[in-house]
Structure 1
C-alpha cells in the first residue's frame, strides 16, 4: 500500500452520550489537552469558526481537502483506491474489499449541547482494519462498527483521538449486516431463528459478550439522530432512544405501506431523516414524533436527505440528475439536470452523494468533474460551483 500524508489546514443499553456531535469523544487519557476537554487533543488549536471542508477521493485513491472558506484545495493523502468513504465529520473511513483505511482529517467540531468548539490539527493516516470481504462501516460517538463477511469489529473512538486504532472487540459475525455502536458496546445484525436471512438485532457488550436479541426482519440502514439510534427493519424501524437505560422502541410503517427504507440520510443530529421509498417515493421518519410519512414525488428518485425540521425540507435527486427541494410533500424548487452523465454510469452513480450542513447542501458529479453548493432555502439556488481537474468520485464533509 502507498501512503503519503500532508498536513491539513441486557437489551438494556446505557444512555447515549449527552453531546450530539459524533466527531470527537472527549479525551480521557493522559494525552488529552489540559483544561476541561471540550473535544480538544494535544497538538490541536481552537478556531473561532468551523473549518468546513469537502473531502474527496478519486479513482486512484488521492484524498483531497477543499476548504469552503478560502476555496483552496490540498492533497491530504494517497491511499489505495476505495469503493466507498464514510465519515463522522472528522475521521475518514476508506472502504474496499478486505480493508478499511482510517484517516484523521485534522478538522472537527465538538458539540457541548449549548455551544460548539472548533479545532484543527495535523492530518494523519491512522492505519488499516483488515478482514474478509467488503466491509460496512457505521460511526458512533464512542465506537466505530466495522462488519466484514465473517467478523464484527468495534473500534474505540477515543483511541482514534489519541492517534491509534484499538479494537474493543472482534467476534464472529452472524451473517451479513451491520455493527452499530452504542454508548456501551454495540448492536449487530443476526440471522433469524431458522438461520436464514437477517432477522434480529443482537446486543453486544463492549467486551464482545453477546446479549439479548430484538426482532428486526431484513435489517438494513442506520442513522443517529438527536433522539437516538435508528436501525431499519422490514416492518419499520427500531429506535434506541437516549435515556438511562436506553429505551428500545419499534416505529412501525403505516398499515399497508411499502416498500421498506434501506438507507437513511439527514443533516447531522436532527430528529427527522429521509430514505428513498421504491422508485418514486421518499420516506420521512420523525424520530421525535415516532412517525413515518410517505411522499410520492411522481418521478424516479435515487437519493433523499432530510435537511431541516421547521419547514420539513427534504432534498431529492432525480434519476435524470436534477435536485428537488420538497416541503410538506410538495416539490417547491428544482435545479437543472446536474449529474446526468454520472448517474448514467454504474460506478459513478453509486458514488454520487449529498453532503448537508446547517446552511448549504453539496453534490458531487464524478464524471462532470464538478461539485455544487446548493441553497435549499433559496429555491435550490446554486450558490457556488467547484470545477475540478479530477473526478470527485467519493465525497464527504469534514470539520463538522
Structure 2
C-alpha cells in the first residue's frame, strides 16, 4: 500500500494528531509501536508509525489554519494561529511570521532521519507560542526537529535568535541566545550552535552566541539551507559549505562573471540544491562535490527546487504559472498554468511528488514529476492555501 493510499478505518489511538475521529485516522500499516530508543527522535506522548505521516498544513490570510492528511484524505483545523506574513517549516514545526514576531506551531507529525533509515512519529498538534521581534523575519532550520536548533533573524529589530529544538519538542520556547546584528546578515543553525555570516566573514558560534571560529570571506550574505553534506550559505563570492561545527568553512566559488544566487531550495536531507539564475535558468550546487552547474532555460523561472534523486529531477515554476520538470540539464515536461500567482506561490517536493498552491482557487496541486509532470490530484484544502507547508517529512 503506498503512502498516498486511501484508508477507511478510523482508529482512536493514543498519539492521534487531533481529537475526533476524522483527524485520528491511522491505517493498519501505520499503527503505533513501542516508543523508539533514545536518539531516534521519539518524545513523550508520540506514537511511532510505519510510514511518513505526510500532511499539507494550510493558512489563509486571516490565520485560519487546517491540515489535510495525504494518506487518508481526512482534515482537521488548528485554532489560535495569527494572520501570517510568511510561513516556513522544518517538516514538523511551522514558523508563522506575524506582526508580533514568529508564532511556532507543532504540527505533531515528523520524520527522524537516522542516516541509513528513518523513524516516523505522530503526536498531538499544538500552538507553542510566539518569539517576539519585528520583521520581516527569516527562519533557518536544521536537519532534525527534536535536536539541534532553529534560527530567526528579525530585520526590523536587528536581532538574531537561536531556539533550542529539544525544548520545542516539549512545547516550550527557549532562546539560547538573542544578539544584536547589523544587516546584511545570515544566521543558520549548526549543531547546538549557529553560523553567522556578517561583516564580510563567516563565524561559527556556540549556543550562547560566543564566537568559536571566524574566517572565510563572505560578502553580501544571502540565503542558507541545511543539506546532507552540510550547511550552505550564499555569498557574493559563491557559497560557503560547512560540514559540521568542527569543520572549517569551505568556499565554493561561483564561476567568474556569474551573479551569485540569493536563495536555495531542495528536497530535505539531500546534498544538491537549486537556485534561480535570473535571465538564464538555474544553478545546481552539489554541496558534497563542492561544485556548481548552470542549467539554461528559455522560460522565466520564479521558483526552482532540486529533488536530487537518482534521475536528477529539478522542479520549477515559471512566470506563467506552469510547472516545469528537468532531468539533469534537459527539460522533460511542462504543465498547463496551475497557479494565478506564480511569484507568490510555493512549491515543495518530497521523494515522490511536488506540491504547488493556487490560493485563488483554494487548492494545492499534487504533481508526479517523474511521470511527465502529471497532475496526480488537485487537493481541496480545509482552509484557503494562501500559505502552505508539507509536514511529516
Shift of 1:208: 1.7
User: What is the TM-score of this pair, normalised by structure 1?
Assistant: 0.85
Unpaired runs of at least 5, structure 1: 10-32, 192-198, 344-348
Aligned pair partner of 1:367 in 356, 360, 375: 360
1:233 to 232, 235, 238: 235
Residue 178 of structure 1 is matched in structure 2 by 186
Query: Given the alignment of the two structures, is residue 93 of structure 1 paired with residue 95 of structure 2, yes or no?
Result: yes
Q: Alignment length, in residue pairs?
A: 357
Residues 279, 367 of structure 1: CA spacing in aligned structure 2 closer, same or farther, 3 A cutoff?
A: farther
Shift in alpha-carbon separation, 1:390–1:41, aligned structure 2, 3 A:
closer
Cα deviation for residue 376 of structure 1 reads 0.8
- Per the alignment, residue 146 of structure 1 pairs with 152
- What's the TM-score, normalizing by structure 2? 0.86
Q: Equivalent residue of 2:167, what SS?
A: helix
CA RMSD of aligned residues (A): 1.8
- The match for 1:267 is 267
* Cα offsets for 1:49-85 (capped at 9, x unmatched): 1110011111010121110011122112331111111
Q: Summarize the alignment of residues 136-215 of structure 1 with structure 2, pairs less than 5 Å apart.
A: 136-140=138-142, 141=144, 142-149=148-155, 150-191=158-199, 199-211=200-212, 212-215=214-217
Residue 68 of structure 2 corresponds to 66
Does residue 1:315 correspond to 2:344, yes or no? no
> Which segment is superposed worse, 128-137 or 219-228?
128-137
The Cα shift of 1:324 comes to 0.6
The residue that corresponds to 2:9 in the other structure is none
Per-residue deviation, 1:222: 0.8
Note the 1:1-400 alignment, pairs <5 A. Answer: 7=19, 9=24, 35-140=37-142, 141=144, 142-149=148-155, 150-191=158-199, 199-211=200-212, 212-242=214-244, 245-256=246-257, 258-339=258-339, 341-343=340-342, 349-350=343-344, 352-388=345-381, 390-400=383-393
Q: Shift of the alpha carbon at 1:97?
A: 3.4
Q: CA deviation at 1:35?
A: 4.0
> Does structure 2 conserve the Cα–Cα contact (< 8 Å) formed by 1:97 and 1:135?
no
Q: How many angstroms does 1:390 deviate by?
A: 4.4
Q: Does the residue aligned with 1:254 lie in a helix, a strand or coil?
A: coil
Could you tell me whether the CA contact under 8 Å between 1:145 and 1:178 is conserved in 2?
no
Distance 1:37 1:292, change over 3 A: closer
- 1:200 shift after superposition: 2.6
Structure 2 counterpart of 1:194: none
The equivalent residue for 1:28 is none
Offset from partner CA, 1:219-241 (integer Å, 9 cap, x none): 11111111000000112100002
- Secondary structure in 2 matching 1:247: coil
**Distance verdict in 2 for CA 1:35–1:313, change over 3 Å:** closer
Offset at residue 110 of structure 1 (A) = 1.1
Contact kept, 8 Å, 2:65 with 2:383, in 1: the verdict is no
Pick closer, same or farther for the CA change 1:185–1:263 going to 2, 3 Å: same
Secondary structure of the residue aligned to 2:370 is helix
> What is the rounded CA distance, in whole Å, between the counterparts of 1:291 and 1:214 in structure 2?
17
Question: What is the alpha-carbon distance in structure 1 between the residues aligned to residue 73 and residue 18 of structure 2?
Answer: 18
How many Å apart are 1:174 and its aligned residue?
A: 2.5
- For 1:163 and 1:94, the matched residues in 2 are separated by 16
| CA distance in 2: counterparts of 1:213 and 1:174, whole angstroms | 18
Task: Please tell me whether the aligned partners of residues 342 and 368 of structure 1 are also in contact (alpha carbons under 8 angstroms).
Answer: no
Alpha-carbon separation, structure 1, partners of 2:336 and 2:73: 24
Unaligned runs of 5+ in 2: 1-16, 25-34
